[in-house]
Amino acid sequence: MTHRFHPPLLLGAPVLWLLGACQVGEQASESTDLMTGETSAVEAMDQERLRGSITPEREWWDVQHYNLQLSVMPETKSLRGSNVISFRTLKGGDRMQVDLQPPLAITRVLHGGEELGFEREGNVYWVQFASPLHARTDDQIEVFYEGEPLESMRPPWSGGFTWGKDSQGGPFIATTCQGLGASIWWPNKDHGYDEPDRGMDVTVTVPEDLVAVSNGRLKGQQHDPAAKTRSYHWQVTSPINNYCVNVNIGNYMSISSTYEGEGGTLDVEYWILKHQEEDARRQFQEVPRTLAAFEHWFGKYPFYADSYKLVVVPYLGMEHQSSVTYGNGFQNGYRGRDLSKTGVGLKFDFIIVHESAHEWWGNNVSMVDVADMWIHESFANYAENLFVDYHFSREEAQDYVIGCRELIKNDVPIIGTYNMNQSGSGDMYYKGGNMLHTMRHIVNDDEKWRRVLRGINEEFWHRCVTTEEFEAYISRETGFDFEAYFDQYLRTTTIPTLAYEGFDGGVRLWWQDAVPGFEVPVVIRLNDVERRVLVSSAPSEIKLDAPLQSLVLDRNFYMGVEERATE
């Protein structure tokens, strides 16, 4: 869809994600400081361009499968491993971009048993083939690497490895990498547009007294008594975001269950520390409730083939595909707090609900460019409201989403800068959720709205999409042109104001602080009589039987309202 309104691009806009990422400024400083200690602003920007754009060295090949084999050595906080990257050539090429961030380093690259040459440029390795590969062929390389990975200082908001201890003093290790990038701990094509079509295998070798948990299904384990290690082989059959790949290591045990859903029998596993079993069996009853609500609103759980896991970790939690991580302390709310300050937020476990919503929004339907992160986070935030609607009441759901408006900053547009590895404002959470909640009331047909939500997950099943594709689909399926509406809420920081002016015999209504073409219906109470009216930037008049005494905008519309004189 071509947009009529285009605000200037904001370079270097700060991002504060409440879950699953770090500030963009922190990303740049972490990676560039490790490269040289004194990287210039120009060099840092170039690194973000290499990470955030589809470079010529990326576009000629399509990832088909990753086979990551990794040894994790807690005593030295180091890694050693390899990744077989299977790919299909879309056109001929001989120079490939493979991403791996310092202080980890690639040591060898093999192609058909032969060593390939490579050189490093910051976070990027340029791999040179001996001769050009032909178009439309299947091939693979094996990338060997090792080193001491960046340690996360504030997971999940900062990326890297967490080398923690559980409450019993045992090793408790985890990876987080949303924002900073999966290449902080394993070599890959680190861009959201290209997920491995045939999924991924992850084999993790750890000390023999520990358990390693990753994505998908556990296919087997192998004990090496001589080396005193144990290897765990996990397999994902569906396409997967790089940042959703994770490894968790500790004194784990599993609790197995099943869920009867729209796709049949779904295998459900809870991976917990051994001393947490009682708390987990109580609190994790939230999982089937969550799956039931989201299959109702969004359609079939997207990864029946790869199962659903909830894995306890030493940080708050993240949306790792088929391996949702959890650290909310076996309590409702967000670390025991209600973000809406209405009491409703204490009716459910925030981490289970929000992070599981990402199985549909972010893992099934994924962004092409990180600038469109709102596709992941706005819908996952909105899903909290729909969970309450399904299990409790519509009024409480409204209380919750509206109560979260106090957390909106309107500081930076929700959509970030394309091709630069920069997402937009943290408002993608609560502003995004309220934007979608308002859209439901603009459509004014809950069954149609539900069909649209389910339809998105069917139309874009296991796909990477753009904001434009989203906008076109929603406008087409609702029958309402949301083009200017999306421009207003995604591309500006201004909330439209419903301006009104009473006059003898009626009231004039129009939008102020709105983008060109902004025209939406709203519900208002005029002199205590409810009306649904279509309002545009041009003043329109409504006749009244008595002088205007009061005008109240329905609370479900995230807009301002103010009495003003006609301009």
Measured from the Cβ of residue 258, the count of other Cβ atoms closer than 10 Å reads: 14
* Tens digit of each residue's pLDDT (9 = 90 or more) over 60-89: 999 999 999 999 999 999 999 999 999 999
**pLDDT recorded at residue 40:** 76
Mean pLDDT of 517-527: 97
First to last CA, the chain: 32
pLDDT at 8 > cutoff 50: no
How far apart CA 544 and CA 132 sit, in angstroms, is 76
Q: Which helix (H) or strand (E) holds 67?
A: strand 61-73
Q: Residue 382: which pLDDT band, with cuts at 50, 70 and 90?
A: very high
Q: Give dist(CA 426, CA 456) in Å, integer.
A: 23
Q: Is residue 406 pLDDT above 70, yes or no?
A: yes
Residue 334: per-residue pLDDT: 98
Does residue 5 carry a pLDDT above 80? no
> What confidence tier does 39 reach under pLDDT thresholds 50, 70, 90?
low
Residue 351 in contact with residue 392, Cβ under 8 Å? no
More confident residue, 387 or 43: 387
Backbone angles phi, psi at 511, to 5 degrees: -95, 135
- Return mean pLDDT, the chain: 93
Say which residues have a Cβ less than 8 Å from residue 144's Cβ, sequence separation at least 6.
81, 82, 106, 107, 108, 109, 110
Q: Are 317 and 324 in contact (CB under 8 A)?
A: yes
Average pLDDT over residues 330-348: 98
Q: Give the number of other Cβ atoms within 10 Å of residue 561's Cβ.
A: 17
Cβ atoms 400, 384 nearer than 8 A:
yes
pLDDT digits (tens, 9 = 90+) for 264-308: 999 999 999 999 999 999 999 999 999 999 999 999 999 999 999
Q: Report which of residues 447 and 8 the model is more confident about.
A: 447
Residue 439 has a pLDDT of 98
Distance CA 198, CA 192 (A): 16
Q: What is the pTM of this model?
A: 0.92
Can you tell me the distance from the alpha carbon of 157 to that of 283, in angstroms, rounded to the nearest whole number? 25
The three-class DSSP label of residue 157 is coil
Q: pLDDT value at position 387?
A: 98
* For the chain, percent of residues with pLDDT exceeding 70: 93
Kindly indicate the confidence band of residue 564, based on its pLDDT and cuts at 50, 70 and 90: confident
Residues near 471 by beta carbon (within 8 Å), at least 6 away in sequence: 1, 482, 483, 486
pLDDT tens digits, one per residue of 485-513 = 999 999 999 999 999 999 999 999 999 99
> CB of 515 within 8 A of CB of 559?
no
pLDDT for the residue 322: 98
pLDDT of 32 strictly over 60: no
Q: How confident is the model at residue 41 (pLDDT cuts 50, 70, 90)?
A: confident
pLDDT above 80: residue 560: yes
Tokens of 285: 């009853």
Q: Per-residue pLDDT for 103 more than 70?
A: yes
Tell me how far apart the alpha carbons of residues 240 and 219 are, in angstroms, rounded to a whole number: 18
Say how far apart CA 295 and CA 357 lie, in whole Å: 10
In the predicted structure, residue 462 carries a pLDDT above the cut 90: yes
Spatial separation of the C-alpha atoms in residues 251 and 241, rounded to whole Å: 27
> Residue 105 pLDDT > 90, yes or no?
yes
* Mean predicted confidence (pLDDT) in 463-487: 97
pLDDT band of residue 540 (cuts 50, 70, 90) is: very high
Given this model, what pLDDT does residue 94 score? 98
Could you tell me what percent of the chain has a pLDDT over 90? 91
Convert the pLDDT of each residue in 300-332 to its tens digit. 999 999 999 999 999 999 999 999 999 999 999
Identify whether the C-beta of residue 328 lies closer than 8 Å to the C-beta of residue 316: yes
Q: Which of 492, 481, 534, 494 has the alpha carbon at shortest distance from 2?
A: 481
pLDDT at 567: 58
Structure tokens, 342: 């209405």
What separation in angstroms does the CA of 112 have from each of 22, 84, 127, 250, 442? Answer: 39, 12, 14, 37, 58
Rounded to the nearest angstrom, the gap between the alpha carbon of residue 382 and the centroid of all alpha carbons in its chain is 13
| Phi, then psi, of 165 in degrees rounded to 5 | -130, 145
- Name beta bridge partners: 318: 325
Phi, psi of 255 (to 5 degrees): -115, 125
3-state secondary structure of 493: coil
Question: Locate tokens 């919750």: which residue?
Answer: 400
For the cut 50, the answer to whether the pLDDT of residue 35 exceeds it is no
Q: Which is higher by pLDDT, 18 or 428? A: 428
Torsions phi, psi of 33, nearest 5? -60, -35
Q: Which residues fall within 8 angstroms of residue 388, CB to CB, at 6 or more apart?
A: 344, 347, 348, 396, 397, 400
Structure tokens, 318 = 């993240």
Q: Give pLDDT, residue 312.
A: 98
The three-state secondary structure class of 124 is strand
Q: Where are the alpha helices (DSSP H) in 206-325?
A: 277-283, 286-298
283 CB neighbour count, 10 Å cutoff: 20
Which tokens sit at 237?
């059959």
Neighbour count for residue 137 (Cβ, 10 Å): 11
CA 164 to chain centre: 25
